[in-house]
């Protein structure tokens, strides 16, 4: 999949720091996100995962360092242009008025209004609805959906946007086992088609099973970054999360599974 | 279910065009438009006919067609009737239509930018700020903008208070709705005190004028005032309509809207100016008329859904319709007395809003 790093790098964090007052949330993080890959951002609560995602998405401006998209600093991207390049799924997805799920998914096409790609609106929406399994929810009012249903409809909106970079902030938090696996399979599939996918996750085994690269944040610093096999060692996870774990290979895929050690 | 398989089989588009579904014209919306327009025309004719001097509906229609250049037998020959219609009733009816439409659109825009159906120009302080500005002009007899002075000061008052509220409620580029509404309460109290002070400082005549106008009245509307309100509110309404699809995206939340290409802060500031224009220009000439900006968009949302293009368009018609009937009632409910219209809308709008709250709370999703 990787041809040469220079042509496949989607996003670059170059020595990025972000601080609020005197509190450093992100400290000197450098990271590349490549097209065609799933990058999982993991780390304990408060490690700075969502902030890192906010920096990558352009919501937050780094207090030091630079974030570039396709080798161009994020600050030099137009809002519309950026909306056609990256889509973001946030943790909380509230809608202020009683728009239907269908309306919400349609809004994912808003950045493309007036462009030739608007011809793909129907196809993009139909595909997004199908892969996220929300066809039966389309006529429902969004605010009346359950947490998991909201998350899936919002994911459909993000997929309908059809951007070459997709960022998902804890997309699996409200989902049941089947839909968790499905979201990660979707992430894998769009990466296979050449898009860059960044997922913030809590479940290390889930990250290990689907991500090409895992980046562990700890106290705002990048503690480790590499393939799941390289990054997820029992010692490291134990040190960062402060709880004893056992790492065993998945009998089917050989990818690491992280099991907390429990008293009998 | 295999994702790859889905990806392959679902690339064929659905048989119905889905794009911008919330902008299209469903039959339901058309029915609402037709009914509201019929009610509106009926209200206009009724309002022009009824009063101390009853005038037949055919005479009202006749003189309008005459003025448009169609000679007809129905036009009144009586000079008194002509004058009553063209100098008293028509400007008043026009003013009611314009102010109703402007207030309803202002409410719709305000609810859109704060993502809260409870936001209303009155709640956030635009109305009392505008009132303070206009009262200053009245009491101190300011005339530096000629005919426009009261309107300009009302607009400035509304704008300044709104900007104060907005900047106070804003932190780190975000607007917390709760803080915003609470700040609105504080500003309202302060503007109320300022209004009381000006009231106290003014002479009896300007005091009467201010009190009368705090209650709201369309009495004595003149054509030159109608023109000012018409120009300002038409312009602001068109601009708001142009932003309607961005208002839709804003309902997904600030961050998500910005991920979809909306420049959220700029949109909000611009919209606040629009709201101040729409509210200020109405408040300047007819006083404070509450609840129109709250009730009309709410009813329309219940009828045709939350999409802002239709919501704002229908708010224009709905606001005008509501106001023409409210003014008709204000003029005719008690013979030979002109009730303050602001009092009337609050009297009816208050309990109605109460009912809306209860009704909505019972439904899942609360205010949504």
Q: To 5 degrees, how large is the angle CA B202–CA B203–CA B205?
A: 115
Q: Which residue, among B119, B261, B302, would best test binding to A if mutated, counting the most A CBs under 10 Å from its CB?
A: B261
* Number of folded domains that form chain B: 1
Query: Which of A99, A107, A189 lies closest to B260 in CB terms?
Result: A107
- Rounded to the nearest angstrom, the gap between the alpha carbon of residue B184 and the centroid of all alpha carbons in its chain is 18
Distance CA B157, CA B137 (A): 11
Is B290 a member of any domain?
Answer: yes
Burial (CB count <10 Å: 0-12, 13-18, 19+), residue B98: buried
The confidence score (pLDDT) of residue A1 equals 41
Q: Which residue, among A97, A101, A115, would best test binding to B if mutated, counting the most B CBs under 10 Å from its CB?
A: A97
Is B217 a member of any domain?
Answer: yes
- Binary contact (B4, A189; C-beta < 8 A): yes
- Binary contact (B21, A130; C-beta < 8 A): no
pLDDT-derived band at A62 (thresholds 50, 70, 90) equals very high
Up-side HSE of residue B359: CA atoms within 13 Å toward CB?
A: 9
The confidence score (pLDDT) of residue A127 equals 93
The confidence score (pLDDT) of residue B285 equals 83
Residue A30: other Cβ atoms inside 10 A = 12
Has residue A3 got a pLDDT over 80?
no
Of all residues in chain A, the one with the smallest CA distance to B262 is A79
Q: What percent of chain A has pLDDT over 70?
A: 97
Region A42-47: what's the mean pLDDT? 92
Region A80-84: what's the mean pLDDT? 94
Is B335 a member of any domain?
Answer: yes
Domain at A1-85+164-178+189-227, CATH homologous superfamily: P-loop containing nucleotide triphosphate hydrolases (3.40.50.300)
- Binary contact (B259, A99; C-beta < 8 A): no
Report in angstroms the alpha-carbon separations of A117 from A121, B244, B254.
7, 22, 25
Residues in chain B within 8 Å Cβ distance of A131:
3, 6-7, 10
Is B180 a member of any domain?
Answer: yes
- Binary contact (A103, B22; C-beta < 8 A): yes
Blockwise average pLDDT, block size 10, chain B, 368 residues: 38 41 67 91 90 82 84 78 86 94 94 80 81 86 79 86 78 64 84 88 82 78 89 95 94 92 91 89 83 88 90 95 92 84 83 71 48
H-run or E-run covering A38: strand A38-42
- Report whether B99 contacts B323 (CB < 8 A): yes
Place of tokens 């990466």: A191
Q: For strands A165-169 and A9-20, give the pairing.
A: unpaired
Lay out the sheet containing A64-69: strands in order across: A23-34, A9-20, A64-69, A72-73
**pLDDT tens sequence across A155-186:** 999 999 999 999 999 999 888 999 999 999 99
Residues of chain A with CATH 3.40.50.300: 1-85+164-178+189-227
Is B44 a member of any domain?
Answer: no
The confidence score (pLDDT) of residue B233 equals 93
Residue pairs between chains A and B whose CB atoms are closer than 8 Å:
133
Distance CA B205, CA B9 (A): 78
Has residue A5 got a pLDDT over 60?
no
List CB contacts of B103: < 8 A, sequence separation 6 or more: B121, B278, B279, B282, B289, B292, B293, B296, B319, B323
Domain assignment of residue B273, given as a range:
91-362
Is B57 a member of any domain?
Answer: no
Region A226-255: what's the mean pLDDT? 93
Distance CA B282, CA B270 (A): 19
CATH number at B134 reads 1.10.3470.10
- Report whether B93 contacts B219 (CB < 8 A): no
- Binary contact (A88, B259; C-beta < 8 A): yes
Q: Which of A180, A191, A194 is nearest to A213 (CA)?
A: A191
3-state helix, strand, coil in chain B (%, to 5): 75, 0, 25
* SS3 of residue B20 by DSSP: coil
H-run or E-run covering A88: strand A86-89
Given its phi and psi angles, is residue B134 left (phi above 0), alpha (psi -120 to 50 degrees) or beta?
alpha
Q: Which one-letter DSSP state was computed for residue A100?
A: B
- Binary contact (A111, B10; C-beta < 8 A): no
Is B61 a member of any domain?
Answer: no
Is B116 a member of any domain?
Answer: yes
Place of tokens 């305000």: B110
Q: For strands A38-42 and A213-218, give the pairing.
A: parallel
The confidence score (pLDDT) of residue B356 equals 65
Q: What is the ipTM of this complex?
A: 0.90
Please give, rounded to a whole number of angstroms, the shortest distance from the CA of B263 to a CA of chain A: 7
CB-based contact, B262 to chain A, within 8 Å: yes
The confidence score (pLDDT) of residue B9 equals 37
Distance CA B119, CA B165 (A): 13
CB-based contact, A160 to chain B, within 8 Å: no
């Amino acid at each position: 999949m990787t041809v040469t790093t220079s042509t496949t790098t989607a996003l670059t964090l170059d020595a990025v720091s972000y601080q609020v007052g005197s509190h450093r949330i992100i400290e000197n993080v450098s990271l590349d996100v490549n097209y065609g890959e799933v990058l999982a951002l993991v780390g304990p609560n408060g490690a700075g995962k969502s902030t890192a995602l906010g920096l990558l998405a352009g919501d937050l401006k780094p207090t030091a360092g630079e974030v570039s998209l396709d080798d161009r600093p994020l600050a030099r991207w137009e809002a519309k242009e950026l909306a056609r390049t990256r889509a973001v799924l946030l943790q909380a997805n509230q809608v202020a008025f009683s728009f239907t799920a269908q309306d919400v998914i349609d809004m994912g096409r808003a950045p493309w209004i007036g462009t030739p790609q608007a011809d793909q609106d129907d196809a993009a929406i139909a595909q997004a609805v199908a892969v996220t399994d929300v066809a039966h929810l389309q006529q429902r009012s969004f605010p009346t959906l359950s947490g998991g249903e909201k998350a899936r409809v919002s994911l459909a909106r993000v997929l309908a946007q059809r951007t070459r970079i997709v960022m998902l902030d804890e997309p699996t938090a409200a989902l049941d086992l089947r839909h968790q696996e499905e979201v990660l399979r979707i992430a894998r599939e769009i990466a296979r088609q050449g898009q860059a996918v960044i997922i913030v996750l809590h479940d290390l085994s889930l990250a290990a099973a689907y991500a090409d690269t895992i980046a562990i944040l700890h106290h705002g610093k990048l503690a480790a970054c590499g393939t799941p096999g390289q990054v997820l060692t029992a010692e490291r996870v134990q040190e960062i999360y402060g709880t004893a774990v056992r790492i065993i290979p998945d009998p089917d895929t050989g990818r690491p599974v992280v099991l907390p050690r429990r008293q009998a | 279910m295999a994702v790859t398989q889905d990806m392959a089989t679902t690339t064929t588009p659905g048989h119905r065009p889905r794009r911008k579904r919330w902008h299209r014209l469903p039959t339901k919306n058309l029915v609402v438009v037709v009914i509201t327009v019929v009610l509106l025309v009926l209200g206009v004719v009724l309002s022009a006919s009824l009063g101390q001097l009853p005038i037949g509906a055919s005479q009202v229609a006749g003189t309008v067609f005459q003025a448009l250049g169609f000679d007809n037998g129905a036009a009144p020959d009586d000079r008194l009737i002509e004058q009553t219609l063209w100098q008293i009733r028509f400007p008043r009816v026009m003013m009611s239509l314009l102010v109703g439409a402007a207030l309803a659109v202002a409410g719709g825009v305000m609810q859109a930018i704060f993502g809260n159906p409870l936001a209303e120009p009155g709640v956030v302080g635009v109305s009392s700020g505008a009132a303070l500005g206009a009262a200053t002009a009245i009491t101190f007899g300011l005339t530096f903008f000629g005919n426009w002075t009261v309107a300009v000061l009302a607009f400035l008052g509304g704008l300044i208070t709104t900007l104060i509220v907005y900047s106070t409620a804003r932190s780190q580029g975000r607007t917390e709705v709760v803080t915003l509404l609470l700040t609105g309460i504080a500003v309202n109290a302060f503007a109320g005190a300022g209004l009381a002070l000006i009231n106290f400082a003014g002479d009896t005549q300007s005091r009467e004028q201010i009190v009368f106008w705090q209650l709201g009245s369309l009495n004595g509307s003149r054509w030159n005032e109608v023109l000012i309100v018409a120009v300002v509110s038409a312009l602001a309404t068109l601009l708001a309509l142009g932003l309607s699809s961005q208002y839709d995206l804003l309902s997904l939340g600030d961050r998500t809207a910005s991920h979809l290409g909306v420049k959220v802060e700029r949109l909000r500031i611009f919209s606040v100016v629009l709201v101040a224009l729409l509210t200020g220009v109405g408040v300047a000439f007819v006083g404070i008329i509450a609840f129109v900006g709250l009730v009309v968009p709410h009813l329309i949302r219940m009828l045709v859904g939350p999409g802002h293009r239709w919501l704002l368009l229908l708010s224009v018609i709905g606001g005008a319709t509501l106001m023409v009937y409210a003014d008709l009632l204000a003029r005719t409910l008690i013979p030979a007395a002109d009730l303050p219209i602001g009092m009337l809308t609050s009297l009816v709008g208050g309990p109605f809003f109460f009912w809306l709250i209860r009704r909505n709370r019972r439904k899942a999703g609360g205010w949504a």
